[in-house]
Amino acid sequence: MATIVDTFIEDELQKIISEILEVHWEDFNYYEIEEICQDFLDEIPVKIKDVTKIKRLKKYVNKEFELDDLDNKVGSAGLQTLQDNSEYSLEKIPKYLFEWKTKIQSGLINIIDLKANIWLTDLFDWLNLKVNKTDKIALIWKNGCWKTTLLKLIIWKEIDLMELDWDIKLATDLKIWYLSQDLFWESEKNTLQEEMMKVFPQITEKIEELEKLNSDEDYEQIQELTQYLLDNDWFKKYELQKNILKYFGFNDEKMKQNVLSLSGWEQTKVQIAKFLIKQVDLLILDEPTNHLDIEGIIFLEKFCQNWKKAIISISHDKRFIDNSSEKICEIYQHKITNYVWKYSNYEEQKQAIYNKQLKDFKDQKKIIDEEEAYINRFRANSAKASAIQSRIKALNKVIRLKEPENDKKASFISISASRRLPEIIMKLRWVEVWYSEKLITLPDEVNVLKTDKIWIIWANWTWKTTLLKTILWDLKALSWESMINETVKIWSFAQILDELNLENSIIKELSENLDQQQEVRKILWWLLITWEKVNQTISSLSGWERAKVWLTKMLLQKPDIIIMDEPTNHLDLHSKEIIKTMLNWFDWMTLIVSHDRDLLENVSNKIWLIRDKKLEIYDEVEKGISEVY
C-alpha cells in the first residue's frame, strides 16, 4: 500500500509541476520547481494523509506562484487516478510546449518572385509567399502542381536539380520541422525508448555521464555538471524526451518495441512528439492524413488547433484542411493566390471573386466593343477626325482585363440501371472474420439492401481490408453462412486498377473488348479527360488521371455493386470531387472503406463501425459519426 501512496504523491506532484511550468516556464526550470515543492512536502509531518499533503501543497503553490486554484486544474481523485491513464492525454500536455514564444520578431519566411524550372519544365513563375509567426496555411490545388517541391525548396532539399531565380528570406535562427510521408528514424534498430532518448543526444550523454559519477569521489564534478545542466534547462528537456509519449498514449510496454513495429499512425505520433519538445517555429505537414485512421486524423486536427505557432500543410482532406488551417494558398498556373479564409469559405468566396471578375471583364468588353464600333463607323468621316483620334488614344490607354478562368467541373453522368435487382442482394449470418486468429465478429444476421450506401469506418487499424476480402470470398471466414445473388455484378476499385494494362492507350484500354468508342469518349469528356489525351498510354498518366480511367471502365461495365478500399488515397481535391459526384449518381449498392469524412458523409446512408473486434451497424449516418468524433 505504501508503494501505491508514494506513486499517488509522485503523480500529483508531476501534474502540479506541469501546471506551474505552463505559467512560469521562462522563469523556472523543472528541477527548481520540484525542489521547492519537495522542500515544502518534507516539512509536513509524516503522519498526515497523502491526500491532505497534496491539498496543502496546492494551496502553497497557488500563493507562491500566483496561480489560479490548482484544485480546479489538477484533479485530486485520490487513488482512483492510478487505475487508468487518463492523466495522459493531448489536452494535458503542458501548454507551454504549444505556446513557446519564439525570439523571432518579424515574419518567418518571405519568398519573392520565385522562378523555377527543372528539365525545361516550368514549376513556378513569379511566385510569392509570406509566412508569419502564427499563420496556419494550407497549400492546395491539383496533383502535379509542385506543392511538395515548394516545401522542399523552403528547407533547401532537392534544389540542385533546378534552375532557380528568387529571393527567399528566412528569419535568423528559424527552426523548421518537416513531417513528410517518409518518416525519419535515428536508427531503424532502435526501440521506441532508445529513439526518443536521441531527440537531445547531447543532453542524454551529459545525464548519463552524471549518473555514472560517484557521489563521494566526484563531488565537485557532480556539482559543476549539475549546475551546467540546470543553467541550460537540460534536466527538463531530458524528462520531456523520456516521458512526452505518455501523453500520446504509449505505455511502458510499447516503449520497448522496435520503431518499425509501430503502426503508421503510431509512427506519426512519435514524430509529432519529437518536434513538440524541440520547440520549433514552423511545422510543415506533407500529406499527414494519408494512412491515418479516423481517430488519428481527429487527434492531428486537435493538435494543430492547440499549436500556437506557424503551420504549412499539404492535404487533400477537405475536413482536415478546414479544421487545421486559417489561410488558403492556392497554387495555380505556377503562381500562388492567397485567401484569408477557412476552406469552407474559400470555395464560396473564390466563386464570388470569379463572378465579379467575369462581370468586370464583360462590362469592359462591352464598352470597348461599342467604342471600337463607333471608331470604325466614323473613321473615314473627316468632320469627326479629331474626335476619332482622341477616342483612339483614350482606348489605347485602357488596361484591358483578361477573361478569368474558372475550374471546370465534371458534367452530369447518367448511370442508368441496366436491370431490376432484388431488394436484398446480400445476406451474412454468423460471420467471424479471421486471419490466423479471430479478428472481427459480425452481428448474427446482416441484410444488405440494393440501395445501401455503406461507409466502413475503423479504429486502430482493425482489419478492414480483411473484412472486405471475406465478403468477396477472397478469404475464408472462420464460420459463416452467406448468400450473394449470383446474378449480381460486383466491381472493386483494386480489382480494376490491377487489371489496367499500362502499355495500352486510354481509348484502347477502354474499348478493347467493347464496341463502345462513342460512349467511352462521352464519359471521358464528362470526367474532363480531353480527346487529345485519349491516345496517351496509361503508364504516362498521373494517379488521379488513372483513377478517371478506372471510373470510366467501371461505368461501362454497369455494375450492381461497387466496392472501394481507400479510393481517395493520393488523389487531389479535384479528383475526389469527381468520385463523390459519380457515387452520388450511382443507383445501387456501394461498400466503401475510407477515412475521408467529406466524401463519405455526402454519399453514405449507413455506417459499419469496426472497433474492439466487432462490427457495429448504424442505419443513421449521424448517429454512427457521433460514435467516432
Secondary structure (H, E, C), 335-351: EEEEECCCHHHHHHHHH
Q: Over 70: is that where the pLDDT of 235 sits?
A: yes
Give the residue from 107, 98, 232 showing the smallest Cα distance to 174: 107
Per-residue model confidence (pLDDT) at position 570: 66
For residue 185, CA distances in Å to 181, 196, 287 come to: 13, 10, 19
pLDDT by residue (tens digit) across 507-517? 888 776 556 66
Q: Over 60: is that where the pLDDT of 5 sits?
A: no
Mean pLDDT of all residues in 613-623: 85
Which residue type occupies 253?
A: E
Least reliable range by pLDDT among 8-22, 116-130, 201-215, 312-326: 116-130
SS3 (DSSP) at 587: coil
Mean pLDDT of all residues in 407-421: 62
DSSP 1-50: -HHHHHHHHHHHHHHHHHHHHHHHTTT--HHHHHHHHHHHHHTS-TTS-H
77 compared with 98, residue with greater pLDDT: 98
Whole-angstrom distance, CA of residue 392 vs CA of residue 627? 69
Mean pLDDT of all residues in 126-152: 79
Decide the pairing of beta strands 606-611 and 453-458. parallel
Chain centre distance of CA 218:
51
